Amino acid sequence: MYEALAKRVSQLPEEPGVYIFKDESGEAIYVGKAKRLRRRVLSYFRESTWAKNDKVRKIAEEALDIDFIIVTSEREALLLEANLIFKDKPKFNVLLKDSRIYPYIFVSEHDYPYIGVTRTRGDPGTYFGPYTSAGLVRRLIELLQRIFKIRTCTLDLKKVKKPCFLYHLKMCSAPCVSKITEDDYRSNLDSLRAFLEGDTLEVREALMERMNLLSEKLQFERAAEIRDILSSMDHLYSFQGVEVSFDLKADILCVSSGLAALLHVRGGMLLGKLVFDFPEGTPVDFITQFYYAKGNMKPRSLIVSGLNKSSTRQFRRDFQYIGEPRDEQEERLLRIAFQNIDEELKIRLNATSSLKQAQQILGLRRFPSRIEAIDISHTQGLYTVASVVVFDNGKPNKSEYRRYRITEIVEPNDFESMAIVIKRRYSKHPLPDLLLVDGGEPQLRAVEKAFGKMNLAMCETVGLAKEHNELVFPDNRARVKLPIEHPVIRMMVSIDDEAHRFAVNYHRILREKRYQSSSLDDIPGIGPKRKKALLRAFGSVRGIKTASKEDLYRVLMNSKSVEAVERWIVEKGGD
């Protein structure tokens, strides 16, 4: 088989293109590009190459087939390679991995497009970012609404009869009721896009000119509105904490120590400080995967060190400038990018140290690189939910968080709820290195019983009794009590708090939906606030039906409303 593959390689053309090594199942295991296909691929079968590069030897030994695609230029080969790596994710290629899930600003493709925040890139439209902070994105969206008045709702505008409160707050131009023409709306949207691409100085100057003109015309109230917008813009600049000149529209990239750091600078704002896992990656690998394969918006300038002339030439047509820093400001920003890598390495070193201590203190057989935590939430048994949060190497992996609605039980029972979620979770998902449970011995016995019913060996599990900062075990080992400043207990408490936050948030969503829609809507004179107050006070429609007139009055504080509720109970039985 090896000789047959080598013979086929010897017949490859000496043209630019992409080559794809495949395994016995036909899956791509490595994708590469070459200016001359035959010469490049033949190097994978030379012992002299193997002596220098062990990965090349492993590719040649594991490959059972090879495919190739001829292109017209080295640049085409580079772009095709990036797309194939992104699509197939071959195991021997360097893959760019987000160290966390970053938010984007999204502009839809409707007749009157809306803007919003998203962490996924599935819907058709334009994506700006990624940005570092969701808080920064919310501030930016609010500023954009006040300046350009683009809608943020996702409603079908044909079904809207009157403008919402954002129109009255002068944060939306109300295209839903034709308060703006499509041409004017598109013009505002074009200005918004330009702002996000870095033309902030032009927008600022136009706002100042308009404010001065309104002042001259003695329209002081409207001038004050623009003054407030400019103040919000200044506040947004100060929020970023880094001074950047208004005319800089660039990305700053550095690759080091298995990580890549990227700064997004647009028109005086440092909008993103991003860090990616990138083992064995090079700046060229990052550029092709991040900008071409993933389709992120290219900046006007890309400041990056370590590119040779050939690589710079390949990318030059897509950037006004690409290469080393041109001035002191860009050199300072590149240093900040490297500092971000240093800080990330320190955080990971501390997390690794805490995990090693946890393995030793808890007597774990395996290093706890993957920890999952479960939390149960309900209100007097109403809408019982469970959350499962996942931490990989000490960091939250939010894309793998899951939440479960527990509908199998009527009365509140945390132990039975725990058993139900254990079964639903681990009948479909692999076991973690460590399972963290909120509670002590009773909760652990429920977990153990659930695994027993599934005929599944229980993974290493520990309970957290937070009231005493104690770690509890399912066997006969004594509890471990650690001081609150100990890194292991701090880590366990933070993971447990995250599971609790995620569960409570889901429970709150369900509860709010319940408040928004119920049979109480049929009662004349009972609006959303009173409906919410009744459900909070009595827990359910059944509770309201059995409440006394005095109890109803204490909640509603209105005799007519109490009479309406009593009539509804008699006439419709609360159904």
Q: Which residue has 């309900």 as its token pair?
A: 378
C-alpha distances (whole Å) from 494 to each of 240, 306, 464, 571 are 26, 39, 11, 52
Q: Can you tell me the distance from the alpha carbon of 364 to that of 433, in angstroms, rounded to the nearest whole number?
A: 9
pLDDT band at 550 (very low <50, low <70, confident <90, very high): confident
Rounded distance between C-alpha atoms, residue 31 and residue 20, angstroms: 5
| pLDDT tens, position by position, 242-253 | 666 767 888 999
DSSP 8-state code for residue 459: P
Confidence of residue 477 (pLDDT cuts 50, 70, 90): confident
What's the pLDDT score for residue 503? 81
Bridge partners for 97 per DSSP: 277
pLDDT score of 522: 65
pLDDT at 368 (0 to 100): 93
Report pLDDT for 356: 92
Q: How far is CA 450 from the centre of its chain?
A: 32
Residue 521 confidence class, pLDDT cut points 50, 70, 90: low
In DSSP terms, which residues pair with 470 in a beta bridge? 465, 481
Q: Report d(CA 106, CA 122) in Å as an integer.
A: 11
Angstrom distance (rounded) from CA 299 to CA 271: 13
DSSP state of 479: P
Summary mean pLDDT of the chain: 82
Where do the H-state alpha helices sit in 316-384? Answer: 328-362
* Helix (H) / strand (E) containing 316: none
Mean pLDDT of 477-505: 86
Average pLDDT over residues 321-330: 91
DSSP class of residue 75? H
Question: Of 348, 431, 333, which Cα lies nearest the Cα of 390?
Answer: 431
Q: Render pLDDT for 380-425 as a digit per residue (tens, 0 to 9).
A: 555 678 889 999 988 888 888 988 887 776 676 778 888 888 988 9
- Cβ 45 vs Cβ 108: under 8 Å: no
Cβ atoms of residues 354 and 487 within 8 Å: yes
d(CA 536, CA 542): 13
**What span, in angstroms and rounded, lies between the C-alpha atoms of 388 and 402?**
5
Mean pLDDT of 507-513: 59
Instruction: Provide mean pLDDT across the span 30-43.
Output: 86
Looking only at the bridges linking them, the beta strands covering 249-256 and 301-304 are parallel
β-bridge mates for residue 262, sequence order? 253, 274
Euclidean distance between CA atoms 441 and 437, whole angstroms: 10
Q: Residue 170, SS3?
A: coil
Provide the pLDDT for residue 517: 47
pLDDT bucket at 465, cuts 50 / 70 / 90: confident
Segment 457-484 mean pLDDT = 86
User: Which of 34-43, 93-102, 148-157, 508-517 shows the lowest per-residue confidence on average (mean pLDDT)?
Assistant: 508-517
Which domains are delineated in the chain? 2-93 (3.40.1440.10), 249-343 (3.30.420), 370-512 (3.30.420.340), 517-572 (1.10.150.20)
At 264-311, the pLDDT tens digits run 888 777 777 888 888 878 898 899 888 888 888 888 899 998 888 888
Q: What letter represents residue 440's amino acid?
A: G
Q: What is the pLDDT of residue 100?
A: 63
Q: Is a pLDDT exceeding 80 seen at residue 113? A: yes
Scanning the structure block, which residue is given the tokens 């011995």? 441
Bridge partner list, 435: 372, 461
In 370-400, which positions are buried (b, 16+ CB within 10 angstroms) versus exposed (e)? bbbbbbbbbeeeebbbbbbbbbeebebeeee
How far is residue 424 from each of residues 110, 350, 402, 482, 508, measured CA to CA in Å?
40, 34, 11, 33, 22
Checking if the pLDDT of 519 tops 70, the result is no
Question: What's the CA gap between 120 and 563, in Å, rounded?
Answer: 50
CA quadruple 386, 391, 392, 397: dihedral sign: positive
pLDDT for residue 308? 84
- From CA 559, how far away is CA 552, in angstroms rounded? 9
The answer to whether the Cα torsion of 526, 532, 533, 539 is positive or negative is positive
For every residue of 262-299, DSSP letters joined together read EEEEETTEEEEEEEEE-TT--HHHHHIIIIIIS-PPPP
Give the phi and the psi of residue 172 in degrees, each rounded to 5.
-155, 140
Residue 508 — very low, low, confident or very high, per pLDDT cuts 50/70/90? low
pLDDT in tens, 49-88: 887 788 888 888 888 888 888 988 877 888 888 888 888 8
Determine which helix (DSSP H) or strand (DSSP E) holds 371, and give its type and residue range. strand 370-379
The pLDDT of residue 3 is 66
Q: pLDDT value at position 213?
A: 83
pLDDT for res 563: 85
Predicted local distance difference test score (pLDDT) of residue 471: 92
In the predicted model, what is the mean pLDDT of residues 370-388?
Answer: 79
- pLDDT confidence band for 515 (50 / 70 / 90): very low
Beta-carbon-side half-sphere exposure of residue 517 (alpha carbons within 13 Å): 3
Rounded to 5°, the CA angle 111-114-118 comes to 135
Least confident of 93-102, 393-402, 480-489: 93-102
